[in-house]
């Protein structure tokens, strides 16, 4: 039984670590998307197709 609890503890810790990494990655990607979109809107008059 003790092996089961140790395995569950390790898996739980890994899930928490993966969740934190995913939050940080998502947040930084969102910030980059907002910044680049704002730059495009700011330079809208300079863009020609």
Could you report the per-residue pLDDT of 1-25, keeping only the tens digit for each? 889 999 999 999 999 999 999 999 9
- Give the model's confidence band at 46: pLDDT under 50 very low, under 70 low, under 90 confident, else very high: confident
DSSP 22-47: HHHHHHHHHHHHHHHHHHHHHTGGG-
- pLDDT over 90 (residue 45): no
Mean pLDDT for 23-45 is 96
Token pair 């898996």 is at which residue? Answer: 11
Q: Provide the token pair at 24.
A: 């940080």
Task: Give the model's pLDDT for residue 42.
Answer: 93
Count Cα atoms within 13 angstroms, Cβ side, for 16: 6
User: Would you say how long the chain is, in residues?
Assistant: 49
- Give the model's confidence band at 47: pLDDT under 50 very low, under 70 low, under 90 confident, else very high: confident
């Amino acid at each position: 039984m003790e092996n089961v609890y140790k395995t569950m503890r390790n898996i739980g810790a890994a899930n928490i670590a993966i969740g934190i990494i995913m939050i940080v990655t998502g947040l930084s990607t969102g910030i980059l998307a907002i910044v680049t979109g704002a730059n495009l809107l700011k330079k809208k008059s300079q863009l020609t197709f």
